[in-house]
């Protein structure tokens, strides 16, 4: 008779596994919302669609409420994920960070170089160099979800860790390179609010409402400071208390975990689909294939499709060959290459950076959207095909059971 003591303990489902499931499902919803935006933008309702986005609700237009306020919540989630994974998750030690970190570095550097090589002659369009540097984890995991068990879990975890570090890089780029004229008084107000949030953390305050209340104040100061308002979400995340796990992968009583789990479904199934619907709509009236050769469109599309796969796969291959890291378990090199292709799906972050880079030029914004859509669709299609046709890695003989 088996006693209760002899039964293996069931470990609670980790936040990372929850995120994989939520992001994958949310990615499918995001795909649908982007497709719907394209249909509406090229239908009889196009004028209503574009007019509604420009309509003002209080101090901001509807589009700005979506891109500056709703997306601040998304960036709050990004910040929570970065903090948790760095301090208490899959990226808590340097050996854990090497492979996804190097892959993220290559996946940001090479697309930027491809874009810059095509746009080096024009300072105006060169400003969009960071557009193809970002990876959209929701879309990428949505594609992996469609492939089911053909892709080993280790590759899904690798892609998630890579995308989290990629998001960290994108946040730094937005703060450093896409900041408007800075208002020192507003920046000072933001610094004081951040200091108050830090004080709450150090005082051991575990209730979330004081942090969220001050977070709204912080967002208001950052919005008026010249730094993009979404950075407030990341700064707030860094002050949310995290109770480090002991003997289990996820402490459900930690304030950070509570807030992260609360935001995840809203981000995956509401915020990102609304962002996609508001920003993916581009009118194709008068579009000709020759327009794909416009420098911005071509730079973004090739940066995503060529730069990403070369950067991610090339850098991963290099560090594994040097013996600095190991290839993801139970994955073949062809499967790693397929995931490198999926890293070129840069929808959400690429569109977001494009809107910042060309905020005063609607024509270049439209070229950016076409480049992002073309590059992302190519990466999704070819990446899914490679992973679909690649046979799984064979298990070592010693691990097989009869």
For 73-95, the pLDDT digits (tens) are: 999 998 998 898 888 877 888 88
The HSE-up count of residue 311 (CA atoms within 13 Å, CB side) is: 31
pLDDT at 396 over 60: no
Q: Map out the domains of the chain as residue ranges.
A: 59-179+228-389
335: its two tokens: 């499967």
CB-based contact 340:313 (threshold 8 Å): yes
Supply the pLDDT for residue 250. 58
Task: Tell me the pairing of strands 60-61 and 56-57.
Answer: antiparallel
Supply the pLDDT for residue 303. 97
Greater confidence (187 vs 286) lies with: 187
Average pLDDT of span 43-50? 94
Instruction: Determine the number of helices (DSSP H) and then strands (DSSP E) in the chain.
Output: 18, 2
Least confident of 34-43, 150-159, 236-245: 150-159
Report residue 395's pLDDT band, with 50, 70 and 90 as the boundaries: low
Least confident of 111-115, 155-159, 196-200: 155-159
Supply the pLDDT for residue 17. 53
Residue whose structure tokens are 């270049």: 364
| Topology (CATH level 3) of domain 59-179+228-389 | Na+/H+ antiporter like fold (1.20.1530)
Rg of the Cα trace of the chain? 22
Average pLDDT of span 258-284? 90
- What residues contact 201, with CB distance under 8 A and at least 6 apart? 239, 240, 241
Average pLDDT of span 93-111? 91
Angle at 307 between CA 30 and CA 391, to 5 degrees: 70
Report residue 147's pLDDT band, with 50, 70 and 90 as the boundaries: confident
Supply the pLDDT for residue 390. 86
pLDDT at 12 over 50: no
CA 29 to the chain's CA centroid = 15
Q: Strand, helix or coil at 56?
A: strand
Rounded Cα distance between 307 and 348, Å, is 18
pLDDT at 20 over 60: no
Supply the pLDDT for residue 354. 92
Supply the pLDDT for residue 13. 43
Report residue 31's pLDDT band, with 50, 70 and 90 as the boundaries: confident
CA separation (Å) from 79 to 86, 171, 232?
Answer: 11, 9, 10
Rounded Cα distance between 344 and 331, Å, is 19
């Amino acid at each position: 008779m088996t006693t209760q003591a002899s039964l293996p303990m069931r470990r609670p489902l980790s936040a990372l596994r929850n995120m994989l499931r939520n992001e994958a499902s949310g990615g499918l919803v995001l795909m649908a919302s982007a497709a719907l935006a394209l249909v509406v933008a090229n239908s009889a309702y196009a004028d209503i669609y574009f007019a509604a986005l420009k309509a003002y609700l209080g101090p901001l237009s509807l589009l700005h409420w979506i891109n500056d306020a709703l997306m601040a919540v998304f960036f709050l989630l990004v910040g929570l994920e970065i903090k948790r994974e760095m301090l208490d998750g899959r990226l808590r030690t340097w050996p854990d960070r090497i492979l996804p970190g190097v892959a993220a570095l290559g996946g940001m550097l090479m697309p930027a170089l491809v874009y810059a090589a095509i746009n080096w002659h024009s300072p105006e369009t060169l400003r969009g160099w960071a557009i193809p540097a970002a990876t959209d984890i929701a879309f990428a995991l949505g594609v992996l979800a469609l492939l089911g068990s053909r892709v080993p879990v280790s590759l899904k975890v690798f892609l998630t860790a890579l995308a989290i570090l990629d998001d960290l890089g994108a946040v730094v780029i937005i703060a450093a390179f896409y900041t408007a004229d800075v208002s020192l008084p507003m920046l000072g107000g933001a610094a004081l609010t951040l200091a108050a949030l830090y004080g709450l953390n150090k005082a051991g305050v575990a209730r979330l409402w004081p942090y969220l209340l001050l977070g709204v104040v912080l967002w208001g100061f950052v919005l008026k400071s010249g730094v993009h308002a979404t950075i407030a979400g990341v700064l707030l995340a860094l002050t949310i208390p995290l109770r480090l796990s002991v003997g289990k992968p996820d402490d459900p009583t930690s304030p950070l975990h509570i807030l992260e789990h609360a935001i995840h479904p809203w981000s995956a199934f509401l915020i990102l689909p609304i962002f996609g619907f508001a920003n993916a709509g581009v009118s194709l009236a008068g579009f000709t294939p020759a327009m794909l050769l416009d420098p911005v469109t071509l730079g973004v599309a090739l940066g995503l499709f060529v730069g990403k796969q070369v950067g991610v796969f090339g850098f991963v291959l290099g560090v594994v060959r040097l013996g600095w890291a190991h290839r993801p378990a139970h994955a073949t090199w062809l499967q790693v290459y397929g995931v490198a292709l999926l890293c070129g799906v840069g929808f959400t972050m690429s569109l977001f950076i494009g809107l910042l880079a060309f905020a005063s030029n609607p024509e270049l914004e439209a070229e950016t959207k076409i480049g992002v859509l073309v590059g992302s669709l190519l990466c999704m299609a070819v990446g899914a095909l490679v992973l679909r046709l690649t046979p799984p890695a064979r298990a070592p003989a010693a691990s097989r059971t009869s």
